[in-house]
Structure 1
Amino acid sequence: MCTAALIINVDNTILNVALPTLVRDLGATSSELQWIVDSYAMVLAGLLLLGGSLADRFGRRRFFLLGLVVFAAGSAGAAVAHSAGPLIIWRALMGAGAALTIPASLSIINDLFREPAARVRAIGAWAGTIGLGIAIGPIAGGLLLERFWWGSIFLVNLPVVAAGLVGAVLVVPESRNLAPQPADPTGAVLSVAGLGLVLWAIIQAPVDGWTSAPVVRAGVGGVGVLLAFVVWEARSSHPMLPLGCFADRRFSVAAAAETLGAFGLLGSLFVQTQFLQSDLAYTPLQAGLRILPLAGVLVVSAALSAHAVHAIGTKGTAAAGLAAIAAGLWQVSAVSTAATVYTDVVPGLLLIGCGAGLLLPTATNSVVGSVPRGDAGIGSAVNAVALQVGGAFGVAVIGSVLSTRYQSSVSAALAGHPVPEAAAHAIHGSLGGALAVADAAGGTIGPVVAHAARAAFMSGTGVAMAAGAAAAAGGAVLVLALLPSRPR
């Protein structure tokens, strides 16, 4: 079961390290980079609940295996994509595969480890594997990108998936809910459509303008569709998302805490990998090694989270995790200037990793442990939805805040310098595009463009990290106010 958690998180962090490479090789803009990351998270989040209910109904091991096969097919397609558009589509297929695998894996763990203390340890190991994936991903991505083309970061998924398939066939027992509810395809369509419209509006806003008609229509329409999803689920006799679960604060508040924690964690990784490579000129491998302290601290703190829960309770541990994430993001925000070097952001990265390690296993156990055993797939799916929605919105919101500030600042800095239209498009599209233009231009204008772009990027980083810190701090307050300290 940990194989699924490992490969899906390896894939996320490998991709982050590859983002500057995709700018160079595919000409991807900042908004396309956000979609390459978020198409996966959006489809995963939108289909997780359906995947969890189908696994409960038809067999958890069966859907675990099916999900791994679909994930492998998407990985193979992504490896041979020749432009950003097809890559976004293949990433969405990978998200569909993960949506079948992840809720099945966690619900199998919940079914096998029925004694609460054993379940806490098992979920701690599962969540710790997430940290291991974060640790392996950047380094594996750097090694692959130094020796092969960028598609190799997707092909590396295939042998790990094969190992998971063999292991599940040999040792994992089949389980299902003996009194399942019918599937809810209408709910699945509404959730995917609503999330997609809202994310499109957030990602496209820096390009078209936050008040432009397409952005406003998509944003309002997305909110309307999500409200329709809630109404449908409330009235359905077989809802994909049983809204009654949210009456239990162990479920609802812990899920909200995971969303806000993932918002800060994945949003910051999206920005920091670009900072390390595009601004500080590290190679992918060098950048991966510099993300390692965050991942290492995450693994250690995840392993210790059960002891923290025993000492200070679920409330105290989850709140401490969110507070540490907020403090780390704020520290990175405070030092984000044109003169920032790697050692300046290390304290913030360590705090973010420590906070995520404390938060994720604690909140996961609270969510999964609060639902009836027969609905383990739904509880597992909601837990994964909280993480993926938080991560998707973290990339979208933090990335869009960064893009808006970057474009505004670079435009102001270059106002007195006439730039050809194609070059201006590349400069405004991403920091990597701006540095490519600066290298090609040379002379006196090249250094001016490079300095302006780097300064604008770091200015945007400061504002974006502050937004993430505010979200995590709000989560800590929410947890302290509403989350029960210990399971009943």
Structure 2
Amino acid sequence: MEILPPKHPRLLLLTIFLLTGTEYLQSGMIAFGAGPIMGEIGAAPEEFSLISALYACVAVAAICKQRWLAERLGWRRFVLCSLAVFICGAAVCASSETTAQFMAGRIVMALGGGTFMTSSRLLVNLFPPSPSRFTGIRFFATALALGSASGPFLASVAVSNDGWQWIFVLLIGLAVLIALLACLCLPAAVPPYELRTQSHPVLLMALVAGSFFLLYAFQRSYYDFYSDAAMLLGAAGLGMLALGYFVRAMHAGDRPLLHLRELRNTRYLTGVALFTFCYTLMGATNYIMPAVLQRGLGYAWATIGPVQATGLGATVLTWAFMAFVVPKRPAPKQYYLVGFLALAVFGWRVASLSPDANLWSDFVPALACYGVFVMLVLATTAMHTFREVQHHETVFSHAQQVKNMLAQFGSSLGIALATAGLQARTASHYTVLNGRFMAGDPAYGQALHALTESLSRHGAAQPAAVAAASLAQSLGQQATLLAGLDYFWLLGYVGLAGAGIMLAQRVLK
């Protein structure tokens, strides 16, 4: 698509920044506020995981059609339409009182907002190859880092003031601001008909159905595997067949919806696989972290948000470091090695936390290592994955679309695995711990007696019953904490294995 140079470069840079920031802000805020949102709308963890899967499926479809729509509407109308749909979805979410209403809102949000990150990265190419384009990339990456770091803090402010709906009100405000900027700086031109990509509704249906069946099979595997394994395997099989049909169709024709043939090079495939893996880890980690800190360690939401934001501020500092150092030392292995070792340190450091841990002195440095991992690995992969496709504008656009489609799939998969894994490990630890909560156990008897006496001295009504309930609550809290720590032990070993693999690989270099 032939694109005219930008008439208002500063406004375009701000548009790119806000589009990217809004995408990462909304994912970070909703992941952080998952617990309170589930409580307010009456959603079980598996229902929230299903909502995430549906969001990902619709977002994948929207990203797939992103260029097709932009070619027919022009950048300005396409972005404005996306923002309008996103605003409608956010308004539905903000007014939701039931799981079904919230699910509908998230689906509409995905239809409009699923393309934000892809659009913002492609808008960078409105700048001609020059230092201006690198400036656009810097705005894009800085928004990624700031959005990731700000999400937990802003969500904690909303949640701690009993107003989780303000998460979506903030997103609506940002979308309105972006719409005003888009009206001023985005081009309205469309390419000639003969240069436009082609599509067919059956192919889109195959993509959506395949993505949903696969994610649904993963999401329900913990709950229904033993009771209905045939159904789950059938769903997974249908998903793979539908996606296989879609991929095969993309290899036919001169102007397919996605140029997959041109993307079959080892560098791109390796980079996209690494992207998907990282987004899966991030989806799982962003879900489990607040659960461990709030339900496991008992910290208030108002305390957790600033702590997470401070720790994740390392993403901003890491990007500033990379922007200065990478032009002088571009070899990626050193960044991959440091990034995955930082992930290992993060996992093992959090896994070693005790109920007496101090969030600022113990958790913030660990979370800073996670921020280092996110920026070093994702930014390095972005710099090297698209090297062989960046000279063809259409192919580069399709490469970005495929990468972000898989990122949505990976994030939803991470949430599904984290939801099921956390419940499974919590149940396992609860069973073990519950064996000590019986009348004949000396430790339980001593704890119950001491707590009952303390409550009696403070004038509590029915101190024995209150003490027993308090100990039962402590049992659930300890089970959740141990389940979360299991995940972080695993994450440490994943980081160590990742460092070894990236040190040995010869593709991204």
Task: Give the alignment's TM-score, normalised by structure 1.
Answer: 0.85
Q: Distance in 1 between matches of 2:53 and 2:342?
A: 21
Alpha-carbon distance in structure 1 between the residues aligned to 2:39 and 2:353 = 24
Structure 1: how far apart are the matches of 2:325 and 2:227?
46
Give the Cα separation in 2 of the matches to 1:211 and 1:183. Answer: 40
The share of aligned pairs that are identical, in percent, is: 20
1:377 aligns with 2:397: yes
Please say if residues 103 and 380 of structure 1, whose CA atoms lie closer than 8 Å, have aligned partners that are also in contact. Answer: yes
* Mapped partners of 1:147, 1:461: distance in 2: 26
- Alignment equivalent of 1:126, drawn from 140, 143, 147: 140
Provide the C-alpha distance between the structure 2 equivalents of 1:358 and 1:154, rounded to a whole number of angstroms.
30
What is the one-letter code of the residue matched to 2:287?
Answer: F
* Structure 1 segment 52-131 matched on structure 2, within 5 A: 52-115=67-130, 118-131=132-145
1:350 lines up with 2:356 in the alignment: no
How far does the alpha carbon of each residue in 1:113-151 deviate from its partner, in whole angstroms, 9 at most, with x for none? 423x54344223212202211222222222223335322
In the alignment, structure 1 residue 8 sits paired with structure 2 residue 26: no
- Could you say which residue in structure 2 is the equivalent of 1:430? none
Tell me the residue number matched to 2:309. Answer: 292
**TM-score normalised to structure 2 length:** 0.81
Contact 2:281 2:414 in 1 (8 A): yes
2:156 matches 1:165: no
Determine helix, strand or coil for the equivalent of 2:313. Answer: helix
Q: Report what 1:141 is aligned to.
A: 155
Compared with structure 1, are the counterparts of its residues 165 and 394 closer, same or farther at alpha carbon in structure 2 (3 Å cutoff)? same
| 1:137 partner letter | G
1:281–1:458: structure 2 CA closer, same or farther, 3 Å change rule? closer
Q: Are the aligned partners of 1:331 and 1:345 in contact in 2 as well (CA < 8 Å)? A: no
Alignment of 1:409-424 (within 5 A): 409-414=429-434
CA distance in 2, matches of 1:254, 1:24: 38
> Quick one: structure 1 residues 120 and 332, their matched pair in 2 at CA, closer, same or farther if it must change by over 3 Å?
farther
Q: How many residues are paired up?
A: 463
Deviations 1:68-113 (A, max 9, x none): 1111110000111111222122112111112343322221212324
Deviations 1:244-277 (A, max 9, x none): 2333344222222222222222321111112222
Contact 1:75/1:91, CA 8 A, preserved across alignment: yes
Residues 346 and 366 in structure 2, CA contact (< 8 A), matched pair in contact too? yes
When residues 317 and 112 of structure 1 are mapped into structure 2, their CA distance, relative to the original with a 3 A threshold, is farther
- 2:255 aligned with 1:255: no
Shift of 1:314: 5.2
Task: Tell me if 1:483 matches 2:504.
Answer: no
> In 2 relative to 1, CA 148–456 (structure 1 residues): closer, same or farther, beyond 3 Å?
closer
Shift of 1:161: 0.7
AA aligned to 2:382 is T
Is residue 2:41 matched to residue 1:26?
yes
**1:180 alignment partner in structure 2:** 196
Q: Note the C-alpha offset of 1:30.
A: 1.8
Give the deviation of 1:219 after TM superposition. 2.7
Q: Which residue of 2 is the match for residue 199 of structure 1?
A: 215
How many angstroms does 1:455 deviate by?
2.7
Contact 1:250-1:367 at 8 Å conserved across structures: yes
The answer to whether the aligner puts 1:458 opposite 2:481 as a matched pair is: yes
Instruction: Determine the C-alpha separation between the residues in 2 that align with 1:295 and 1:113.
Output: 33
**Equivalences for 1:202-217 in 2 at 5 Å?**
202-209=218-225, 212-213=228-229, 214-217=231-234
SS in 1 for 2:198: coil
- List aligned pairs for 1:241-390, cutoff 5 A: 241-313=258-330, 315-316=332-333, 319-320=336-337, 322-324=339-341, 326-332=343-349, 334-335=351-352, 342=359, 343-368=361-386, 370-371=389-390, 372-390=392-410
Distance in 1, matches of 2:49 and 2:57, equals 11
Q: How far off its partner does 1:289 sit?
A: 0.6
Q: Residue 213 of structure 2 contacts residue 239 of structure 2 at CA under 8 Å; is this kept in 1?
A: yes
Query: Relative to 1, partners in 2 of residues 1:314 and 1:332: Cα closer, same or farther, differing over 3 Å?
Result: same
Give me the whole-angstrom Cα distance separating, in 2, the residues matched to 1:139 and 1:263: 22
Secondary structure at the counterpart of residue 24 of structure 2: helix
1:356 CA drift (Å): 1.0
Q: Which residue type is aligned with residue 408 of structure 1?
A: S
Specify the SS of the correspondent of 1:59: helix
